[in-house]
Amino acid sequence: MAALFGSLCVMLGMGCHALADPAGNDAGQSRERSEKSGLWVSWNSVEETEAIGRYTKLGYGGSELPETAAHVDEGGPWIITRDNETGLIWEVKTATEGLRYRANTYTWFDPNPETNGGYDGTPNGGDCTGSACDTGSYIEALNVQKFGGFSDWRMPNVRELGSLVNTETYNPAIDTRWFPNTMSHGYWSSTTYVLDSTLAWVVPFYHGLVNHYGSKSGAYHVRAVRKENRSEVVFLSE
């Protein structure tokens, strides 16, 4: 298995670290976990989540839509997906070129010393349309546009991003019924790698292993997130 991880890291151009929990917690602890993500989360109760389903399609302003609602690419109102297990609200990518185009890539850039882990990263080094091609510019563009009616979009931390992984599938390792246009490559998290501030955690959605990091000068995809006001998202550590 270690050899397989190493081969995938070389193929994807990433560094790898055999660590399921970036905070250093024991990945083998016998606590009930999120069904498919392998991460510990708490927002709705199990009964509530089962009753309403894991995900809900949302339109502008966070309006709830039926499961049959069409994606914006098809002329429908669906632009956002809420995870009812964590309460996180996620951007849904599009197949048409523009700000939220699925193939856009970005370098990791955050000039705020309070949140960048000690290193700004690289501005405008990706390949994208609709904004400068770095993570900070992308998030800023979403918020200036008030995408979906909101201006509090941000990059997910590595645990939040990893909660989208569906280990029952791969290429991509995500439920594409709720997250169409997902690329089977790396997506940036906001989490700087603690041992080297020039690196940040990346989740590659080919296989969904949450044990990779990439140089902040590298170009990966981004999926923005915001939090439902109802409750804090709690990732249990023990």
CA dihedral 203, 226, 30, 37 (to 10 degrees): -40
Mean pLDDT estimate for the chain: 83
Residue 110 has pLDDT above 90, yes or no: yes
Q: Give 230: exposed, middle or buried? Use CB within 10 Å, 0-12, 13-18, 19+.
A: exposed
Q: Domain ranges for the chain, please list them.
A: 19-238
Percentage of residues in the chain with pLDDT exceeding 90?
71
pLDDT at 18: 40
Cα 197–Cα 22–Cα 123 angle in degrees, nearest 5: 35
Residue 166 has pLDDT above 80, yes or no: yes
Q: What is the model's pTM?
A: 0.80
Residue 7 has pLDDT above 90, yes or no: no
Q: What is the mean pLDDT of residues 35-44?
A: 44
Sign of CA dihedral 98, 121, 16, 81: negative
How far apart, in whole angstroms, are the C-alpha atoms of residue 3 and residue 237?
29
